[in-house]
Amino acid sequence: MPTKTKSKIKITNKKVVQKKNLKEEVDVRTPDGGGWLYSDIVKDHFFNPRNFMQYGEEEKFKFNGIGRVGSPACGDEMVLWVQIDPKTEKISQCRWRTFGCGSAIASTSALSEMIVENSGMKIDEALKLKPQNILERLGGLPNRKVHCSVLGDKALQSAINDFFRNTAQHSRVQTAGAKVIDKELNVTDHDIEEAVLEGAQNLEDLQHKLKVGVFNKEVIPQLEDLLRFYNEKYYG
């Protein structure tokens, strides 16, 4: 029988492989310390971030939309500047700054690349971008880092909204359709989505994450439904 293994040392393939199945846990650490916590694409974006706003560039960079979002999750924050051509409605340029971990920085960088490549993405398309698209682009993120990629599409939405306001197209402003679930505690479906992204799996986690007291009994089934829904959506 011919032996397949030529050498005991496995040479890790340096080529960047897109992950097909995002449901798989992405953690490429290997016992030889060769792998990395994140995929090669994430690593590349992290060490070579694209399109970020450099020192001293703020004054020069022309933009007509700015979005600033923060996540209560771990305190990460992001600002996105976009330049949209009003005629073609394509995003011609963008800049960003992010305060956060490796995957937050990489997510923003990847997003910035996606929206300006191929002579720019149309804003209608851009508004359809989902965190999943960023995840795909990055080759996935470890489960507990999924929430870092969510900030990007939120910042993009708010930057485009800003553009709509700046160009007096108020009817086109997307109102975030937050629905209040628990009136007393003012907990919305968005809050639940956020909590799930931060790892909440049950009511107890939810309570802890949102720092609220006991939920109203009548809304508990609804809360549980949403918990299940978002958990399935992101980790399912």
Partner 1 sequence: MPLPKLKKVRDVYLDHAATTYVIPAVAKAMAPYIETNYANPSSLYRLGRINNGAINDARRTIAQGLGTMPDTIVFTAGGTESDNLAIFGVAKANADRGKHIVSIGIEHHAVLHSLRELKKDGYEITFVPVDGEGIVKVEDIVAAIRPDTILITVMFANNEVGTIEPIADIGRAILKYRQTNKTIYPYFHSDACQAAGYLDLDVEKLHVDLLTINGGKIYGPKGVGALYIRRGVKIRPMIWGGGQERAMRSGTENISGIVGFAKAFELAQTSREKEWKRVLEIAKYLWERVQKEIPKVRLNGPPFGVNRLPNNVNITFMDVEGEAMLLYLDEYGIMASTGSACTSTSLEPSHVITGMGLPYEYAHGSMRFTFGKRNTKADVDYLMKVFPEIVRVLREISPVVLEEGKKHAKIHQR
Active site residues: 74, 148
> Measured from the CB atom, is 54 or 167 closer to partner 1?
54
Cα–Cα distance for residue pair 114/194, rounded to 1 Å: 24
Q: Which burial class, exposed, middle or buried, applies to 148 when counting CB atoms under 10 A from its CB (0-12, 13-18, 19+)?
A: buried
Which position among 19, 89, 101, 220 is part of the footprint of partner 1 (CB under 8 A)?
101
Q: Which stretch binds ligand FES (CB under 6 A): 3-11, 45-53, 97-105, 216-224?
A: 97-105
Residue 90 or residue 137: which is nearer to ligand FES going by CB? 137
SS3 155: helix
**Choosing among ligand FES, partner 1, none, which partner's interface includes residue 54 (Cβ < 5 to 8 Å by kind)?**
partner 1
203 or 219: whose CB is closer to partner 1?
203
> How many C-beta neighbours within 10 Å does residue 209 have?
19
CA distance 236 to 229: 9
Q: Does 98 bind partner 1 (CB under 8 A)?
A: yes
Q: Which helix (H) or strand (E) holds 96?
A: strand 90-99
Where do contacts with partner 1 occur on this chain (CB under 8 A)?
A: 37, 46-49, 52-55, 58, 68, 73-79, 96-102, 104-105, 144, 147-148, 198-199
